[in-house]
């Protein structure tokens, strides 16, 4: 086999040579908008329509526009048509659409509603495009060759308002992206005017917040919005608007966040109903028609529509986030700018446009003035001019002879020579020459404008006022202060039901709904295991799990999976990540952390600790030093009211006392107070509740004061099976 030829190249060099040009092309020539608010694909399409006379003419088939645009846009016909679709009134993706459309262009708020083919739809430029192309023919912007060098196209459009902020623009390049939200045209014009007048003005006073064509509500946080205005980065939340139809018991959603679609919302709600997370809804459907968007949710008679909508805001795209990234191409370089910087760049761009158009007018009027000044010279002797022309034998000598005869240049002589014979009369020439003074005055004024920055500012301000007056609209997106938004706790979305918890000696925990227990008589546990505690509670309660290592673990009961009687349940060492020799010995379920914990130790001391000590503001899962470690724990119990307890010493001494005799403490690991006095090296061995013991005459063992030694256990009070806690 022949040996293959190959060239070794460093990968970094290969990437730089092959990938970098592509990346730069995507950034500079495709995905990132420029200061006029357009990407190249938008600009090429609109310019083509302008050249086709669609600013004033009738609509034409979209296919015709797409075909013409391909002369300056190297992309395929469908890519061009999709660009057109987003700029039409019919699609509704922009606050101020640039294209007046007829036919089906789909809808921005619908994922499934597709636009018709270009042969069926018709378009023309909307009236606002006059502001995009104003003075385009006066050299306001640079023109460059198209991709094959056969046509010229503008580098930018000389927009008379900051379109970059008025119409939403999104793009993904290589290694960077742009996501510019839209703002209300009136507010943008007002803010720009104020900024021109005073660069230190507070823009947020005039440019209140973003505005979207889909309406809805914007949840306003002043700090977050100020950061977006300052840096060009940040995010805010949008939410849908709804109304409640009490007669038909349904909620009608009529405006949704710009970032989502009707289908996504309906799918999300349907999924919640299907998995049982939302039980107040009977049906959800899309009732969008010619009158506008509408999602109808049929709800149950006893359901609160406001509470339901708060749930849906939390769980569905009815509330969504818009992330801002104001990345703009400035003179070919991508820059992330805040609002103030964008306005500065736009004003600088617009100033240059006005200067260039003014210079164009000066040059045109100066040319005309120059010709009229030559015409004025022949006014002194019209007969001489006629005689020169008549006596010149060769045609190409007419202009030179006029130049010599009246001391004028070639341009002036050419102009005089082209005048029709019938116009070589005194009246015509006087009328034309009368324009000289007005032209001189106009040129002088134009030069003043060109050289006076303040006058240029006044022109920009006047144009902005005119645009706001002609095309301004009321805000579509409402502004709601974050303070007025009801914060919905997570528990609102949790299904609440009664249940039983079972704790086994080998540290298995079962959570079983009461409805499942009705048909089951036995709980499945391991052969060498036993249930040491069972409590009845509900799904939204908190659970405290006390371990033999003086710690307490906190859980929300709804975080536990439902178990069946036929299963072992959750293995707590894995669930709680317990130490190797650590195990759970007691559990407490509570709603409000009322009541007390009773701890009784081998040294005869007892502690009464308020349960609310274990309630923490932070969601800590583990609390150490949950009870004292000075002496081994013999007994612990949760009480809501004081109870009688029976304590047994290792030498069969017995004491009965009431927990009211122990003062409650607010320290978790308190050593407590002495209850049973030690005697002859004895220790506290066991504790029982009085009603669970075999004591017949409790008063015999009861003392008025504690601590006490207690009394020897009488024969009639001895039980065959007195069991301790075995800690």
CATH number of 490-717: 2.120.10.90
Higher-confidence residue of 130 and 389: namely: 130
Reduced 3-state DSSP string for 349-412? HHHHHHHHHHHHHHHHHHHHHHHHHHHHHHHCCHHHHHHHHHHCCCHHHHHHHHHHHHCCCHHH
- Indicate the range of 24-33, 356-365, 524-533 predicted with least confidence: 24-33
- Mean pLDDT over 229-237 rounds to 96
Output b/e per residue, 159-182; b: 16+ Cβ within 10 A. bbbbbbbbbbbebebeebebbbbb
Asked if domains 241-317 and 490-717 share a fold, the reply is no
Distance between CA atoms of residues 9 and 663, nearest Å: 83
276: pLDDT strictly greater than 90: no
Q: How far apart are the first and last CA of the chain?
A: 81
120 is catalytic: yes
pLDDT, position 726 = 37
Of 665, 563, 666, the C-alpha closest to 606 is 665
Mean of the per-residue pLDDT values of the chain: 90
Residue-range domain boundaries for the chain: 38-158, 241-317, 345-471, 490-717
167: pLDDT strictly greater than 60: yes
- Mean pLDDT over 515-540 rounds to 85
User: If residue 311 lies in a helix (H) or strand (E), which one and from where to where?
Assistant: helix 305-315
Looking at the chain, the whole-number percentage of residues with pLDDT higher than 90 is 66
Cα 51 from chain centre:
39
Instruction: Write down the H helix ranges in 435-552.
Output: 435-451, 453-471, 514-517
Contacts 24+ apart (CB under 8 A), 519-525: 520/565, 522/565, 523/565, 524/565, 524/566, 524/567, 524/568, 525/568
Of 366, 323, 95, the C-alpha closest to 227 is 323
pLDDT, position 724 = 41
pLDDT, position 566 = 82
Instruction: Give the model's confidence band at 407: pLDDT under 50 very low, under 70 low, under 90 confident, else very high.
Output: confident
Tokens for 57, please give them: 């003419």
The Cβ of residue 464 has, within 10 Å, a number of other Cβ atoms equal to 22
Looking at the chain, the whole-number percentage of residues with pLDDT higher than 70 is 96
309: pLDDT strictly greater than 80: yes
- Indicate the range of 178-187, 302-311, 343-352, 445-454 predicted with least confidence: 302-311
330 contacts: CB under 8 Å, gap ≥ 6: 34, 35, 337, 345
Distance between CA atoms of residues 506 and 501, nearest Å: 15
38-158 adopts what CATH topology? Topoisomerase II; domain 5 (3.90.199)
pTM summary value: 0.77
pLDDT, position 4 = 63
241-317 adopts what CATH topology? Gyrase A; domain 2 (3.30.1360)
pLDDT, position 725 = 38
User: If residue 604 lies in a helix (H) or strand (E), which one and from where to where?
Assistant: none
Instruction: Output the CA angle 177-179-183, nearest 5 degrees.
Output: 160
CA distances from 237 to 90, 164, 221, 281, 410 (A): 26, 21, 9, 25, 69
Backbone angles phi, psi at 717, to 5 degrees: -100, 0
What is the pairing mode between strands 605-610 and 664-665?
parallel
pLDDT, position 491 = 65
CA distances from 513 to 37, 499, 519, 567 (A): 60, 4, 11, 14
- Indicate the range of 310-319, 334-343, 369-378 predicted with least confidence: 369-378
- Indicate the range of 205-209, 210-214, 390-394 predicted with least confidence: 390-394
Edge-to-edge strand list for the sheet holding 570-571 = 531-538, 498-504, 508-513, 570-571
Distance between CA atoms of residues 483 and 53, nearest Å: 51
- Mean pLDDT over 588-613 rounds to 93
Q: Are 182 and 151 in contact (CB under 8 A)?
A: no
Higher-confidence residue of 199 and 722: namely: 199
Q: Are 684 and 646 in contact (CB under 8 A)?
A: no
- Tokens 């709980």 belong to 523
Instruction: Give the model's confidence band at 460: pLDDT under 50 very low, under 70 low, under 90 confident, else very high.
Output: very high
Instruction: Give the model's confidence band at 242: pLDDT under 50 very low, under 70 low, under 90 confident, else very high.
Output: very high
The SS3 call for residue 684 is strand
Distance between CA atoms of residues 330 and 347, nearest Å: 13
pLDDT, position 727 = 40
18 contacts: CB under 8 Å, gap ≥ 6: none
DSSP conformation class of 496 = P
Q: Are 583 and 547 in contact (CB under 8 A)?
A: yes
Distance between CA atoms of residues 399 and 409, nearest Å: 9
59 contacts: CB under 8 Å, gap ≥ 6: 100, 102, 122, 123, 124
CATH number of 345-471: 1.10.268.10
pLDDT, position 723 = 43
Cα 254 from chain centre:
20
pLDDT, position 521 = 67
Dump pLDDT digits (tens) for 216-227: 999 999 999 999
Taking each helix axis from N to C end, the angle separating 339-379 and 435-451, rounded to the nearest 10 degrees, works out to 160
Active-site residue (options: 120, 147, 497, 700) = 120
């Amino acid at each position: 086999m022949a040996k293959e030829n190959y060239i070794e190249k460093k990968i970094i060099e290969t990437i730089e040579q092959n990938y970098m040009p592509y990346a730069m092309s995507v950034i500079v020539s495709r995905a990132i908008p420029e200061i006029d608010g357009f990407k190249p694909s938008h600009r090429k399409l609109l310019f083509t329509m302008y050249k086709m006379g669609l600013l004033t003419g009738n609509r034409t088939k979209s296919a015709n526009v797409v075909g013409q645009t391909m002369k300056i846009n190297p992309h395929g016909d469908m890519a061009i048509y999709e660009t057109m679709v987003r700029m039409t009134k019919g699609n509704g993706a922009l606050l101020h659409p640039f294209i007046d459309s007829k036919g089906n262009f789909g809808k921005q708020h619908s994922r499934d509603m597709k636009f018709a083919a270009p042969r069926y739809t018709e378009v023309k430029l909307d009236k606002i495009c006059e502001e995009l192309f104003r003075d385009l023919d006066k050299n306001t912007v640079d023109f460059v060759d198209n991709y094959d060098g056969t046509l010229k196209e503008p580098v930018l459009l000389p927009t008379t308002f900051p379109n970059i902020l008025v119409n939403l623009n999104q793009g993904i390049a290589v290694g960077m992206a742009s996501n510019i939200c839209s703002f209300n045209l009136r507010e943008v014009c007002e803010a720009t005017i104020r900024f021109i007048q005073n660069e230190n003005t507070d823009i947020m006073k005039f440019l209140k917040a973003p505005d979207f064509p889909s309406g809805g509500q914007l949840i306003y946080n002043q700090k977050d919005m100020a950061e977006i205005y300052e840096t060009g980065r940040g995010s805010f939340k949008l939410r849908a608007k709804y109304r409640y139809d009490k007669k038909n018991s349904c909620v009608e959603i009529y405006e949704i966040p710009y970032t989502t679609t009707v289908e996504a919302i309906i799918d999300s709600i349907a999924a919640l109903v299907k998995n049982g997370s939302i039980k107040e809804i009977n049906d959800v459907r899309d009732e969008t028609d010619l009158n506008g968007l509408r999602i109808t949710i049929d709800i149950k008679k006893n359901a609160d529509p406001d509470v339901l909508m708060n749930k849906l805001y939390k769980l569905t795209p009815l509330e969504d986030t818009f992330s801002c990234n104001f990345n703009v191409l400035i003179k070919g370089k991508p820059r992330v700018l805040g609002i103030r910087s964008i306005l500065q760049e736009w004003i600088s761009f617009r100033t240059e446009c006005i200067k260039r158009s003014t210079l164009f007018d000066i040059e045109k009027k100066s040319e005309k003035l120059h010709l009229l000044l030559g015409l004025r010279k022949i006014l002194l002797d019209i007969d001489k001019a006629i005689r020169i022309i008549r006596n010149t034998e060769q045609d190409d000598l007419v202009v030179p002879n006029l130049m010599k005869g009246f001391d004028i240049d070639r341009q002036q002589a050419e102009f005089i020579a082209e005048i029709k014979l019938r116009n070589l009369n005194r009246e015509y020439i006087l009328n034309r020459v009368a324009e000289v003074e007005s032209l001189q005055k106009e040129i002088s004024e134009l030069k003043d404008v060109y050289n006076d920055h303040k006058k240029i500012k006044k022109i920009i301000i006047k144009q902005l006022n005119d645009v706001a007056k002609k095309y301004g609209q009321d805000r579509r997106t409402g502004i709601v202060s974050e303070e007025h938004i009801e914060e919905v706790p997570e528990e609102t979305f949790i299904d609440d039901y009664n249940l039983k918890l079972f704790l086994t000696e080998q540290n298995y925990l079962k959570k079983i709904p009461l409805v499942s227990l009705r048909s089951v008589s036995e709980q499945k546990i391991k052969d060498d295991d036993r249930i040491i505690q069972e409590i009845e509670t509900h799904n939204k309660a908190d659970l405290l799990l006390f371990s033999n290592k003086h710690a307490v673990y906190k859980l929300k009961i709804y975080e536990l999976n439902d178990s069946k009687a036929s299963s072992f349940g959750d293995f707590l060492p894995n669930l709680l990540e317990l130490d190797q020799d650590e195990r759970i010995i007691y559990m407490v379920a509570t709603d409000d952390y009322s009541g007390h914990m009773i701890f009784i130790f081998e040294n005869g001391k007892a502690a009464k600790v308020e349960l609310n000590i274990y309630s923490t503001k932070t969601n800590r899962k583990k609390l150490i030093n949950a009870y004292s470690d000075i002496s081994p724990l013999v007994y612990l119990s949760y009480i809501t009211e004081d109870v009688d307890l029976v304590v047994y010493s290792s030498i069969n001494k017995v004491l009965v006392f009431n927990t009211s005799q122990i003062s409650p403490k607010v320290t978790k690991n308190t050593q407590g107070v002495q209850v049973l006095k030690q005697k002859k090296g004895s220790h506290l061995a066991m504790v029982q509740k009085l009603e669970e013991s075999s004591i017949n005459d409790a008063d015999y063992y009861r003392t008025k004061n504690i601590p006490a030694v207690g009394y020897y256990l009488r024969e009639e009070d001895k039980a065959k099976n007195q069991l301790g806690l075995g800690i």
